[in-house]
Chain A
Amino acid sequence: MSIVLLRVDERLIHGQVVVGWGEYTHMEQIAVVDDEISASPWEQELYCLGVPANVNAVFATVEEAKQAVPGWRDDPLRVTVLLRDCQSLERLAADGTLEGLEVNLGGIHSAPGRERVLPYLFLSEADRTSLQRVAEAGVTVTARDLPASKPVPLSHLIAGCQ
């Protein structure tokens, strides 16, 4: 299995992922899964600026990623999969595509309708429902900004919101 990191983070490719997690996962490829960005070359160019020289970045829609995930899991390359929101994750995880994997919630920030759960994590009602469905699809959901932090389990994240 070679998806070394599966993460929901609004900032996608940034310092925590590249430096904080990179030091730990030694990733060789970043796959950004997002419908909107996959259709927008100028945004892709900007997101790619922060990718280190020895890492290659690809962009996929959720549908494309569903096809690609089995390949990534068997890939000899060490792949980091990044998504921007819980709803894309839910769609990707449906039908057990991500079964047996762990997903880390690394940064979802304040927005109308979202409540603070952790300093780096704000969740709405819809986010929580999505995450529960993701867990039901066989994925271990935890919040963890950096490898040195303790993972916070989903049950705590949902309880912390009410």
Chain B
Amino acid sequence: MTAFHPLDLLWLALLGGWVATDSSSFAQFMVSRPIVAATLAGWIVGDPVAGASIGVMLEAFNLNVLPVGAARYPEAGPAAVVAGAVYPLAAGAPGAMLMVVAFALAWEWVAGTTVHQLRHFNVRLAAAGAVNDAGRLQLRHLAATGVDFLRGVILVLTGWVILYVVLVLLTPYWALGERMTGLLTGGLLAGLLAGSFRLLGGRARWFALGVAGGVTMLLVTG
């Protein structure tokens, strides 16, 4: 593992707060998507390219999640910040990519559970009581968004510590060869990307056209 600047953690925590509110509470600009969140986290620690490579993997996993209704779902943003910030520190280690992605998927569920808890808590914070008082309604509404921001800060800081320790402890033991690891990573990514086919209405002709175009380009550019 390479060294990190403690000050980075401050910026990562703020990014965590932003992405936590971005997925629902505030504006939904989709900086909370892994492709953005993990890349920005990588940029903060000085390696946006490594951040982006983890972002692509996590984005591919999250293409297949539909946020409809009150149902519980995994939350991608804070976990992607953690993954994009820690992966660059271990980017040389074989197996680090797969371990970081596996951890991020678990952390997405933890984050999703906290969203669920917050939505229960908000019943008392923002929905009950004197909703006819403009001042209090505004205060309580914005307080709920503030709590959401704090939730992201905490998720990123605790996730960062856990993932850092996990990687320090486990990467030395990774025992699959580089080629095998590469094959599995590629297969995982290709399968996930293909999985979005049905989400997008199963448009077979367009999908086939894309595959053909991509393969042709690969062959031409060698």
Seen from chain A, the residues whose Cβ lies within 8 Å of a Cβ on chain B are: 14-16, 19-20, 23, 107, 119-120, 145-146, 148-149
How many Å lie between the Cα of A2 and that of B66 in the bound state? 26
How many Å lie between the Cα of A146 and that of B65 in the bound state? 13
How many Å lie between the Cα of A146 and that of B72 in the bound state? 10
Contact pattern, B 158-197, Cβ under 8 Å of A = 1, otherwise 0: 0000000000000000000000000000000000000000
How many Å lie between the Cα of A145 and that of B70 in the bound state? 8
How many Å lie between the Cα of A119 and that of B71 in the bound state? 8
Q: Which residue of A lies closest to B119 (CB)?
A: A119
Q: Count of chain B residues with Cβ under 8 Å from any Cβ of A?
A: 10
For the complex of A and B, the 3 pairs showing the least CB-CB separation, nearest first, are: A16-B69, A120-B70, A15-B68
How many Å lie between the Cα of A61 and that of B142 in the bound state? 43
How many Å lie between the Cα of A16 and that of B66 in the bound state? 10
Q: Which of A14, A19, A20, A119 has the most CB of B within 10 A?
A: A119
Q: Please indicate the chain A residues that have their CB under 8 angstroms from the CB of B71 in the complex.
A: 16, 20, 120, 145-146, 148-149
What is the CB-to-nearest-CB distance from A31 to chain B, in angstroms, rounded to a whole number?
21
**In the complex, are the beta carbons of A23 and B69 less than 8 A apart?**
no
What is the CB-to-nearest-CB distance from B197 to chain A, in angstroms, rounded to a whole number?
12
**In the complex, are the beta carbons of B198 and A20 less than 8 A apart?**
no
Q: Which of B68, B116, B199 has the most CB of A within 10 A?
A: B68
Q: Please indicate the chain B residues that have their CB under 8 angstroms from the CB of A149 in the complex.
A: 71
> How many contacts A-B (CB < 8 Å)?
31
**In the complex, are the beta carbons of A107 and B198 less than 8 A apart?**
no
How many Å lie between the Cα of A16 and that of B69 in the bound state? 6
Contact of A15 among B69, B119, B198 (CB under 8 A): B69
Query: Told that A23-B198, A119-B70, A119-B116 touch, could you supply 4 new A-B pairs with CB distance under 8 A?
Result: A14-B69, A120-B70, A146-B68, A146-B69
Q: Please indicate the chain A residues that have their CB under 8 angstroms from the CB of B116 in the complex.
A: 119
Contact pattern, B 45-71, Cβ under 8 Å of A = 1, otherwise 0: 000000000000000000000101111
Q: Please indicate the chain A residues that have their CB under 8 angstroms from the CB of B199 in the complex.
A: 23
Q: Please indicate the chain A residues that have their CB under 8 angstroms from the CB of B119 in the complex.
A: 119
How many Å lie between the Cα of A52 and that of B218 in the bound state? 38
What is the CB-to-nearest-CB distance from A132 to chain B, in angstroms, rounded to a whole number?
25
How many Å lie between the Cα of A114 and that of B120 in the bound state? 16
How many Å lie between the Cα of A120 and that of B70 in the bound state? 7
Q: Which residue of B lies closest to A14 (CB)?
A: B69
How many Å lie between the Cα of A123 and that of B198 in the bound state? 36
**In the complex, are the beta carbons of B68 and A20 less than 8 A apart?**
yes
What is the CB-to-nearest-CB distance from B191 to chain A, in angstroms, rounded to a whole number?
19
How many Å lie between the Cα of A15 and that of B119 in the bound state? 20
How many Å lie between the Cα of A15 and that of B199 in the bound state? 14
**In the complex, are the beta carbons of A120 and B69 less than 8 A apart?**
yes
Q: 18 A-B contacts, Cβ less than 8 Å apart?
A: A15-B68, A15-B69, A16-B68, A16-B69, A16-B71, A19-B66, A19-B68, A20-B69, A20-B71, A23-B198, A107-B69, A119-B70, A120-B69, A145-B69, A145-B70, A145-B71, A146-B69, A149-B71
Q: Which residue of A lies closest to B69 (CB)?
A: A16
How many Å lie between the Cα of A148 and that of B119 in the bound state? 21
Q: Please indicate the chain A residues that have their CB under 8 angstroms from the CB of B198 in the complex.
A: 23
Q: Please indicate the chain B residues that have their CB under 8 angstroms from the CB of A20 in the complex.
A: 66, 68-69, 71
How many Å lie between the Cα of A23 and that of B201 in the bound state? 9
What is the CB-to-nearest-CB distance from B15 to chain A, in angstroms, rounded to a whole number?
29
What is the CB-to-nearest-CB distance from A149 to chain B, in angstroms, rounded to a whole number?
6
What is the CB-to-nearest-CB distance from A36 to chain B, in angstroms, rounded to a whole number?
24
How many Å lie between the Cα of A2 and that of B116 in the bound state? 35
Q: Please indicate the chain A residues that have their CB under 8 angstroms from the CB of B66 in the complex.
A: 19-20
Question: Which residues of B94-145 are within 8 A (CB) of A?
Answer: 116, 119-120
